[in-house]
Structure 1
Amino acid sequence: MRINPLLMFFLLLWSTTLMSQVMGKVEDANGTALPFVNIYIEGTYLGTTSNDDGKYELNLNIKGDYIIVFKFLGFKTLKRNITIKEFPYSLDAVMTEEKISLEEVKINAKDNPANRIIRQTIANRKRNLEKIRAFKADFYSKGLIRIKNAHEKILGQDIGDLGGGLDSTRTGILYLSETLSKIHFERPDKLKEEIVASKVAGNDSGFSFNNATDVDFNFYNNTIEIESDMVSPISDFAFNYYRYELDGIFYDDFGNLINKVKVIPKRENDRVFSGMIYIVEDQWSLYALELNTTGQQSQIEAVDTILLKQNFKYSQNDAHWVLLSQSIDFAYGIFGIKGDGRFTAVFSNYEFNPKFEAKEFSRELLSFTEEANKKDSTFWNTIRPVPLTSEEFVDYSKKDSIQIVRKSKKYLDSIDAKSNRFNPTNLLFGYNYQNSYKDWNLGFSSLLSSIGFNTVQGFTGNLDVFYRKDYDEFRRYLGLRTSMDYGFEDQRLRISGSATFKFNNVSRPFLTLSGGVRTEQFNESQPISPFINTISTLFFEDNYMKLYDRYFLELSYSHEWFNGFRWFSTISYE
């Protein structure tokens, strides 16, 4: 399918101007776009970041006077006073580079100034960690994974065009998604996240896997879990793992002196970072960080490199620095396939030290609101804090268009016509007939794999006939199954059946009615494998499986009350 670039451009322009309230582009003095610039309203936690094209959108809906702050590492913080009389309001910004120098620092050969800064920061680490007792916040994340020069087959399997993500060079976006959630936190480790919106390119029923719970990287902790526990550059034992150099100083817009400290690992293969951390003098708080690690250091084999950036904002009302934005850039390589990606996160609308109810936190860490994955483009254009790049907009449009085609009756029937062809070998290995458009299938199991032997029935053969009807994206379904088991020694056919209904895919409640007669082990957990017992009985004359005929009628129900706790109930007549 061809996507007209000019049409995509005008659609992108139209959707942006229609829905955004304050928008613009951030550049340096040379006209180069600046990505990942923090833009927020002074005195609030309402903010966003610029995308890879330097473009941003700040969602405001009240006219009036505002001070818009542009903050970016290596550049002077820029403040713009604006008066909004009508929406949308256009505001471009040009940022100038910050002068970072060592001229004001007195270097003593006996005392590394960076060590003094780090020691003070370590001494205040726990105080900064515990300063925020509890908070609520809005969380937005965008995940993008690209693939380069993809093979046509992996391990002998044809991978196709990966849902329309590959161009003629087999390069493109492998995964694109967005998440909008509300997070609640209380020290020391209580965290709850409710996802209110989730979007995946090319899957209108998909749930994105980028959420706040998985990217909770607090460098005030001694270790940061990125697959393995990584040592923080300001941990209590950091001097065992790192060396430090003062790279320069500058002043922020509040007049705070900011120390730029270079982090150098002592040993290359430790679980450590390298790069820069920015520390506020006297407060000994994190101002920002730009830290690298490798796949070997983080023990993620498929990853080559990881770059983690965090930017903090000072709140005069709350008297502490809070995380405003975070990005994780990475490059990967596996099975000869290479690519890169980025996960961008924006935290906004903080509320500190709220009074949580006693039942606020439970074992359920992550939940979804109803129809979280069904938000339309109008919703996302209104609420999205980081605008889409042209590349991302085209990927959404292309994959969503392809999905419409691939969900059509004509396309699904053509796929089914090929996969539903009956072959005589299906009599031995099983058969499944699929109607993808109406979401049902039926079939029977393999006769060959069901052949066995036990001392009650002699040689046995089993045939299962099944039917399943799916109803919607919440994975509601009705499943019917009949099992016929024949014993050649006792010349007896035993028949049983079941009907199962699944109500939703959130708490996953199942209701099952079953009945009939079948051979079962006296131990209802069925600990002995029929195949192993067949081999043992036929070749070694050792029978371990004790069987009886079970006549039964049974009604069972199960329901997940919260993450990790599932309730089961069964009523049966035998």
Structure 2
Amino acid sequence: MKARLFIFFLAAALQVHAQTYRLAGRISDEKKAPVSFASVYIRNSTYGTTANEDGFYEFKLSAGTYNVVFRSVGNIERTEKITISNQDQEFNVTLANEPFSLQEEPGSGDEGNPGKDIIKKVINKREYYLNQVDEYSCAVFVKGVQRLTSAPQNLMTRDVRRVLQLDANGKGILYQSESLSKYNFRNPNWVREEMIASKTAGQNAAFSYNKASDLQVNFYQNNFEIEGLSARAFVSPFASNALRFYNYKLVGRSIKSGRRIAKIQVIPKRRNEAVYLGNVYVVEGDWRIYGVDLILTKEQANINLVDTLNISQQYIPITDSVWLPTSTHFDFHGNVLGFKFQGYYQAIYNNYNINPQFPKGFFNGEVMRIDTQASAKNGRYWANNRPVPLTVLEERDYKKKDSLFAIQHTPKYLDSLNKDQNGFAPLSYLIFGYQNYNREKRQSWYLDPFLQTVFYNTVEGWGVNAKVSYIKGFDNGQSYSITPEVRYGFGAKMLNANVGFTYNYNPSSQSTLSARFGSDVLDLNNAGTRSLFFNTLSTLFYENNYIKLYRTNFGVVAWQHELTNGLLLNTQVSYAERQQLYNQSFNHVFDNKDKTYTANNPLANPPTVESMLFPTNQALTAKASLTYTFRQQYIVRPDGKYIEPSLYPKIRINYRKGVSGVLGSDVNYDFASIDVFDDRMKVGLIGFSAFKITAGTFLNRKSLYFMDYNHFFGNQGTTFNPTIGSFHFLPFYEFSTNRSFIEAHYEHNFAGNFLSKIPFVRKLKLEELIGVNYLAQGKNSTPVSNTGLMQPVKGSYTEAYIGVQRFILRVDYGMAFDGNRKVVQGIRIFYGIR
């Protein structure tokens, strides 16, 4: 297999087994300046390369005579007949500037606009060219470079220069990457990539495209998303609706290889839309794309990370009727806090096969497989296999960083670095916790943040919840963890302790076995309420003791396994003794005379007087769920299988059984539900949506207690959890039910489509959102356990909200309705801490 892949990259189309020789040279313009990234390919083949930034190119060719095409946007295409004998050969080329002539033809043009007329003809054939090739395979070389060009002198300290590996002036290459892959594609969007070699050096400061699939640009598609640059999709100049977004101007025509090529300027009709500006090149008669040279700017398209991004792409004929890209190039510039950077990513496509005859089941969801030796290739391998020669600066940077890499990966250096990283930082521990990692033993200890360790509630009073996680990893990707937890409430003088164990025994099938046993204090609502930290704040400062607690002595065993790609099974069996708790402590920071702590019974009437919610009981419970991800995609790396974000919704079927009579269990019920959900559903140019729909019912409810009810992810307080499936204003316990229900959540992120058009506001790059949450239940009420307390059964509940967000900061304004009656409205905030 490796031998075939080696030949795949080195062989010219005709003589793959013969000895190869080096054809190299420099491509310059009429002023002797280098023509950077010019395309060079063998006519009537799919073997080609690209010049480097300094205009140097090289080929590996067998002896013979070749028609070599030299091509670059803005220059006259040149074809040279070159004979390779039995030695390396140097061939330099000068490309003249392209003289596009603007000669009108009688009767041509669309209302005096020939550029628009040409584009309309391309749009009419867009779908034909989009679907012309049903499948293909090719070799792809991806190269990326990021440089720092200037920086504020007061920030460019010696330590900063050392970490970024810059020169004395604070300049230099921050990051380089190269990869060699075999790329396989089938319409409409099936992909499978095999990366056989990968090399990186330095600190990735902007964004990284190291895979062939990262640089797949198809302007025959209506929209194109660029990961990280914007939450919006950008409209292709050839989209079916492109005439709504662009004006077109014919710059001129020229003849290339016997074909007439039209150069057309692309002009956005309006500012601040997700559109390009620049030039496109069209083969007249065929009305196909010859090449593009387009730009996205921060001012025009409101992009992130960089100030400008230039995308250029060139197509070559694979057959007389089929054209595919020979190269794609991303060039970017940016300025962050005075640090100016620039760089590029390029992809070169070779050895196209448009009739690969993929076997049945070839596209099985594995979108990427990285060879176990991909990152172990030495300098000689890269010298023989990279199709684009390194520049002098790139070669020097590689040597420097390879030397530093060797030093930085000696046991002495790694041990020293490990020791520094394990240093204790009080502020970091306060918010993020503390981790201690042992490199040699591949084990780590993690201590939960202080903010989640010390707490206060009205049941336990002040308390400590100390939780430590120990994780041990192995070379085969397996791991296990042990998590002991001790919780003590000083007010109730109550000690609880439990320990958990998880064994990840087959990462490729997400197979884990876990168990936990001991005692704990739990929330009556198992769907989600408030963290210990936020509950402490709301209780002490506002006398809002929202969460209601009970004590349990328990044991639980769980198993997870992926039955087949996309179908995940979760099972769990637990046994617990559950005991009701009551308020024991009534501390506060500000004594609010108008407020009184509520009882620990969420159904108490009146709410401030303690009463029994359930008797002490035993429960043996079995649970199972099946989650299916439609067309699940994943990457196989040497260290395991990694699931990619899903392009399609997921469906989950849940079943829960309360088993009566076994081990003294007091529960007897059956609950079933189904979830359909999608966290990020693309909606063309107007952003993306997320939704979750859940329907459930109790098939049998002979005996169950309040904690066995179906609970909902509510919220009471100013902060909220933005996870889809949660409510903004829903009380934590009031709507818990042992009847049938349906809940629905929908949220749409417009990705700045509206706010980006407002002066000054657009600079904030805010994303606007709207959403609605809905809940409906059965009409009959049922006693809670055997206490006689009645859980009031609600009808319908609805929330509607609007909001804005930027990174982890989000502010929503909404209102809630119980039936037709508005019950609450207000602002909800999220700032990264749940």
Residue 94 (structure 1) aligned with residue 93 (structure 2): yes
Contact 1:49 1:386 in 2 (8 A): yes
1:463 paired residue number? 466
For residue 160 of structure 1, give the secondary structure of its aligned residue in structure 2. helix
Q: Deviations over 1:280-318 (max 9, x none)?
A: 121111111212221233331332222111111113x35
Amino acid at match of 1:39: V
1:248 paired residue number? 252
1:76 paired residue number? 77
Contact 1:68 1:82 in 2 (8 A): no
Distance 1:150 1:557, change over 3 A: farther
**In 2, Cα distance between the equivalents of 1:408 and 1:274?**
49
Instruction: State TM-score, norm by structure 1.
Output: 0.82
**In 1, Cα distance between the equivalents of 2:435 and 2:120?**
67
Distance 1:273 1:415, change over 3 A: closer
2:727 paired residue number? none
Residue 479 (structure 1) aligned with residue 478 (structure 2): no
For residue 307 of structure 2, give the secondary structure of its aligned residue in structure 1. strand
Residue 281 (structure 1) aligned with residue 284 (structure 2): yes
Instruction: State TM-score, norm by structure 2.
Output: 0.58
Superposed counterparts of 1:8-407, under 5 Å: 21-60=22-61, 62-73=62-73, 74-86=75-87, 89-97=88-96, 100-102=99-101, 105-106=104-105, 111-151=112-152, 160-161=160-161, 163-202=163-202, 209-226=209-226, 227=230, 228-253=232-257, 255-315=258-318, 317=319, 319-407=321-409
**In 2, Cα distance between the equivalents of 1:159 and 1:509?**
44
For residue 269 of structure 1, give the secondary structure of its aligned residue in structure 2. coil
Moved more, 332-341 or 433-442: 433-442
1:10 paired residue number? none
Q: Deviations over 1:250-289 (max 9, x none)?
A: 2222x11122222233334333322222211211111112
Amino acid at match of 1:242: Y
**In 2, Cα distance between the equivalents of 1:449 and 1:544?**
15
Deviation of 1:559 after TM superposition, in Å, equals 5.5
2:636 paired residue number? none
**In 2, Cα distance between the equivalents of 1:96 and 1:446?**
63
Contact 2:67 2:79 in 1 (8 A): no
**In 2, Cα distance between the equivalents of 1:261 and 1:446?**
58
Deviation of 1:431 after TM superposition, in Å, equals 5.8
Using CA pairs below 8 Å that are at least 6 residues apart, which structure has the higher relative contact order? 1
**In 1, Cα distance between the equivalents of 2:426 and 2:132?**
71
Contact 1:101 1:250 in 2 (8 A): yes
Structure with max Cα Rg: 2
Deviation of 1:35 after TM superposition, in Å, equals 1.8
**In 1, Cα distance between the equivalents of 2:333 and 2:397?**
20
Moved more, 123-132 or 302-311: 123-132
Moved more, 110-119 or 35-44: 110-119
Contact 1:139 1:346 in 2 (8 A): yes
**In 1, Cα distance between the equivalents of 2:98 and 2:377?**
45
**In 2, Cα distance between the equivalents of 1:510 and 1:84?**
61
Distance 1:116 1:542, change over 3 A: closer
Q: Deviations over 1:406-430 (max 9, x none)?
A: 2333334444555656799999997
Distance 1:560 1:312, change over 3 A: farther
**In 2, Cα distance between the equivalents of 1:424 and 1:212?**
43
Moved more, 237-246 or 103-112: 103-112
Q: Deviations over 1:207-243 (max 9, x none)?
A: 9643333333222223333433323223333333333
Q: Deviations over 1:405-460 (max 9, x none)?
A: 22333334444555656799999997655544654444655667422345664543
For residue 161 of structure 1, give the secondary structure of its aligned residue in structure 2. helix
**In 2, Cα distance between the equivalents of 1:157 and 1:362?**
50
Instruction: Give the aligned CA root-mean-square deviation in angstroms.
Output: 3.9
Distance 1:540 1:425, change over 3 A: closer
For residue 303 of structure 1, give the secondary structure of its aligned residue in structure 2. coil
Q: Deviations over 1:501-541 (max 9, x none)?
A: 55687766545454433333355445443344445666637
Amino acid at match of 1:38: S
**In 2, Cα distance between the equivalents of 1:569 and 1:152?**
58
2:543 paired residue number? 540
**In 2, Cα distance between the equivalents of 1:153 and 1:568?**
55
**In 2, Cα distance between the equivalents of 1:424 and 1:122?**
61
Distance 1:573 1:382, change over 3 A: farther
Distance 1:482 1:158, change over 3 A: farther
2:661 paired residue number? none
**In 2, Cα distance between the equivalents of 1:503 and 1:222?**
44
What is the percent sequence identity of the aligned residues? 31
Distance 1:23 1:390, change over 3 A: same
Amino acid at match of 1:249: R
**In 2, Cα distance between the equivalents of 1:412 and 1:503?**
28
Moved more, 534-543 or 383-392: 534-543
**In 2, Cα distance between the equivalents of 1:344 and 1:559?**
37
**In 1, Cα distance between the equivalents of 2:510 and 2:383?**
32
Where structure 2 has 5 or more consecutive residues not aligned to the other structure, the ranges are: 1-18, 577-834
Contact 2:116 2:248 in 1 (8 A): yes
Contact 2:262 2:281 in 1 (8 A): yes
Where structure 1 has 5 or more consecutive residues not aligned to the other structure, the ranges are: 1-17
Contact 1:144 1:173 in 2 (8 A): yes
**In 2, Cα distance between the equivalents of 1:66 and 1:43?**
10
For residue 400 of structure 1, give the secondary structure of its aligned residue in structure 2. helix
**In 1, Cα distance between the equivalents of 2:483 and 2:158?**
32
